[in-house]
Amino acid sequence: MLASNYRRGGAEIVRVSQETMAEAAYKSIVAAAGPDQTSATPGYNILGISKDRAQEIFDEVASENFETTLQQQQRMMESSKEELVTKKDDPKSEGGGGDEVDVMKQVLEENSAEDLEKSKEKKAPAELSIYECETCGYTLFPSSGRDFKFFPDDFVCPECQAPKDKFVQKKQNIDS
């Protein structure tokens, strides 16, 4: 059904998307299972991944010490912050350089405090736009930032062929 919504190459687009999602899911499974493993983590066949591809993914994750991409990024950010804060004064440089380190430390501390305050603030609830066909109940969920106005005037319901004006907008709060 999804493939038929694309003008050209729908089946290929869906196939590649599914493979990518399956490989990402398997990569997460391998990382979550941790470094005690010696071979490909079970479950690849359920995701439709070949044994060879599963072993390639396992080797890739093992070479990254079973860290997820997010964990790697966080580790790199923390080490960069530590380098800036703990950087020693170089007596050979002109002006000492100590002021620059102190300023960087102050900026990092201020940014950390601001981030903490922002995370504590309650954000206004976001709304999800939903359009429902009054005739058959078919529901559309346009992407964030998109409205129903981006659908052409000759758009019809894929289920009952009702015209665009038979769709009514419903708003739903998103819990974040």
| Domain assignments of the chain as residue spans, ordered by start | 3-63, 126-174
| Residue-level pLDDT at 176 | 46
Does pLDDT of 137 surpass 80? yes
Mean pLDDT, residues 81-101: 57
Does pLDDT of 69 surpass 70? yes
Mean pLDDT, residues 89-95: 51
Q: Which is more confidently placed, 154 or 112? A: 154
Mean pLDDT, residues 157-166: 91
The pLDDT tens digits of the residues spanning 30-43 come to 888 888 888 888 88
| Residue-level pLDDT at 105 | 74
Three-state SS for the chain is: CCHHHCCCCHHHHHHHHHHHHHHHHHHHHHHHHCCCCCCCCCCCCCCCCCHHHHHHHHHHHHHCCCCCHHHHHHHHHHHHHHHHHHCCCCCCCCCCCHHHHHHHHHHHHHHHHHHHHHHHCCCCCEEEEEEEECCCCCEECCCCCCCHHHCCCCCECCCCCCEHHHEEEEEEEECC
Fold of 126-174: Rubrerythrin, domain 2 (2.20.28)
